[in-house]
Structure 1
Amino acid sequence: MKARCLTIKELTEAVGGGITPRMVRHYHQLGLLPQPMRSPGNYRLYTQTDVNRLQRIVALKQQGFQLNHIRHILAVELEADTTIETRLIASLQQQYRAVMQQMSQLRQTASALESLLGRDRNCQLIQAEVLAQLKLLEVETKVGVGQLEKLWSGLDANVHAHPEDFHESLQYLLPDLCDRPVIEQDLISKLVLACGDVSLASFVRLHPEAIAASREAFKSGCPIIADISTVAGALDQTRLIHLGCRIETLIDNPHITTAKEAELAFWQERKWREKLQQLEKGCVLIVGYAPSVLLAICEAIAEQQIQPALVIGMPIGFSHAPAAKRQLMQTSIAWITIEGTLGGGLLAATALNALVESVIDKPECHCYLSKLPGQQNKAK
């Protein structure tokens, strides 16, 4: 929930100590208080930070300090706070870089293992030859994995003789998904293939009713609302038309094609927020770029302004996107998301297309209803 801003009168009442609006305006002129935000009607709006700073000014005055001394004290305190903050950020950046370096090394190891384990049947002669060479080297696994890249030279000639069997390759690489419905397994496999990263499977999250809600919505010809045209363009229009589902775009501007553009447009133009609040009940929302769109959707759901059948929330971003996904997973409606910063329009569209395909190809499938009773209220 956003903190409510205070008017200048409410600010003085919150601080007390005999402070008046006239004194506050004087402190602005002296530079003791920063200039506040302004409302659309040009009224001053204050935050808790302003309350804290003004309380500090009052306390220093009561200790006998003159205003020019107070300004110097506040400047020194701010500089000290900034120095501590700068050091903390630098420390966190150093830790982050160290983690990323470790991840990069692990990613190289994983890539080498994927090149070996992900061989389909037609490539297993190459796989056998590599394993034989590793055995001859008589090295432990950790060292052997590091040597794999050196062994590929001259062994990849057979890959030109046939197309890759993705389904067979994934059987050796994906985590065990046997406890999940067949439709969900297919969805996760398609998401992994869309980005080429097997680790994505560990971050996919589905509401327990997501598959059931999506199938019911698609069969009823629900409208599909994408955040921008790039996402809408990646949807399986042929199958959706067959089901009677029309595709709409929330930020209806074909020139907006990136997450940055979508985020700015949604903030700058009120009409997109107003359009969001007027969406048809039972629609399916798909967000692949703008985290603020997903945040607004969660807020509108909480305030019962909209009632979508399903939200596929996979926006891009490093702060707002993870927060938006966490909020989505706390809503009462059905949802599908990818935890953390991973996401994008292609993955969001892939998720929807996989569900639509399952409705048409497996209309009588009920695998998603086979969960234990105790699992019905838990999200994966």
Structure 2
Amino acid sequence: MTRTVHPIEQESFRILRARLDTSHLPPLRRAVLERVIHASADLAYATDLVADEDELRSAHAALHAGAPVVADVEMVAAGITARRAVCRLPDASACAGLTRSAHAVRLAYAEVGPGAVWVIGCAPTALEELIALDAAPALVVGMPVGFVGAAESKAHLRASGLPAVSNVSEKGGSAVAAAALNALLYTHHPVKENDR
């Protein structure tokens, strides 16, 4: 199914590319960065976003082969427009020293198992729980926002060795996390680097 792109979105990307040259980036990293900037109108993501092209390629293949997508909160799930995302937050409760978000990660992992793509845009505790679970994800989009634990949880994600998209600063949130995943879903046939 071909996605129809509205003229306003086309103009937004034209303006973005006029202000920031992304042409030197590999195709999936470029797609993710541009979609995150488009969702946030924040050009600083050009130096804040961390993503590896090989990891993005593997995740892209997994997504297009039907890997499940898990979102930490319903706002992230609602922003993922090309795929239904599992979100177990409504079923979770704070218990046994876990936040509700961390419990939701455990519930979701019990449902989807290894190989899923996880999108965390709200709760640092959800990201920390996912790292601790050893869930063997295809990719973790870890972009929680906030002054308490957000930057630290993203640093833990990058240090974990899990395939990931993250950012260095405290900023992030549901919209940018969903945008990063949407970039991979909307890109059907990424150009190989040596074909550019």
TM superposition score category, shorter chain reference: 0.7 to 0.9
TM, length-normalised to structure 1: 0.44
1:324 equivalent in alignment to 2:153: yes
One-letter amino acid of the counterpart of residue 173, structure 2 = G
Deviation at 1:187, TM superposition (A): 2.0
In the alignment, the residues of structure 2 paired with residue 165 and residue 274 of structure 1 have an alpha-carbon distance, to the nearest angstrom, of 41
Contact 2:88 2:104 in 1 (8 A): yes
Note the 1:8-23 alignment, pairs <5 A. none
Note the 1:186-335 alignment, pairs <5 A. 186-236=31-81, 239-240=82-83, 246-252=84-90, 267=99, 271-272=103-104, 274-278=106-110, 279-301=112-134, 306-335=135-164
In the alignment, the residues of structure 2 paired with residue 224 and residue 204 of structure 1 have an alpha-carbon distance, to the nearest angstrom, of 21
In the alignment, the residues of structure 1 paired with residue 88 and residue 108 of structure 2 have an alpha-carbon distance, to the nearest angstrom, of 7
Residue 269 to residue 354, structure 1, CA distance change in 2 (3 Å): closer
Deviation at 1:268, TM superposition (A): 5.3
Aligned to 1:48: none
Partner-residue secondary structure (3-state), 1:341: coil
Note the 1:81-120 alignment, pairs <5 A. none
Aligned length, in residue pairs: 184
In the alignment, the residues of structure 2 paired with residue 173 and residue 298 of structure 1 have an alpha-carbon distance, to the nearest angstrom, of 36
In structure 2, stretches of 5+ residues that fail to align are 1-6
Partner-residue secondary structure (3-state), 1:179: coil
| 1:331-365 deviation line (CA, Å, top 9, x unaligned) | 22211012110100010111111110002xxx2x3
Q: How big is the alpha-carbon RMSD for the aligned residues of Structure 1 and Structure 2?
A: 2.8
Partner-residue secondary structure (3-state), 1:343: coil
| 1:31-67 deviation line (CA, Å, top 9, x unaligned) | xxxxxxxxxxxxxxxxxxxxxxxxxxxxxxxxxxxxx
Deviation at 1:223, TM superposition (A): 0.9
Contact 1:266 1:293 in 2 (8 A): no
Residue 266 to residue 201, structure 1, CA distance change in 2 (3 Å): farther
1:168 equivalent in alignment to 2:1: no
| 1:131-164 deviation line (CA, Å, top 9, x unaligned) | xxxxxxxxxxxxxxxxxxxxxxxxxxxxxxx968
In the alignment, the residues of structure 1 paired with residue 101 and residue 175 of structure 2 have an alpha-carbon distance, to the nearest angstrom, of 25
In the alignment, the residues of structure 2 paired with residue 269 and residue 187 of structure 1 have an alpha-carbon distance, to the nearest angstrom, of 25
Contact 2:69 2:118 in 1 (8 A): yes
Higher percent of residues as helix: 1
In the alignment, the residues of structure 1 paired with residue 37 and residue 139 of structure 2 have an alpha-carbon distance, to the nearest angstrom, of 21
Aligned to 2:166: 337
Aligned to 1:43: none
TM, length-normalised to structure 2: 0.81
Answer 1 or 2: higher relative contact order, Cα 8 Å, separation at least 6: 2
Contact 2:116 2:139 in 1 (8 A): yes
In the alignment, the residues of structure 1 paired with residue 18 and residue 156 of structure 2 have an alpha-carbon distance, to the nearest angstrom, of 34
Residue 326 to residue 220, structure 1, CA distance change in 2 (3 Å): same
Deviation at 1:250, TM superposition (A): 3.0
Q: Which structure has the bigger radius of gyration?
A: 1
Deviation at 1:251, TM superposition (A): 1.3
Deviation at 1:189, TM superposition (A): 1.6
In structure 1, stretches of 5+ residues that fail to align are 1-161, 241-245, 371-380
Residue 297 to residue 198, structure 1, CA distance change in 2 (3 Å): same
Deviation at 1:271, TM superposition (A): 4.6
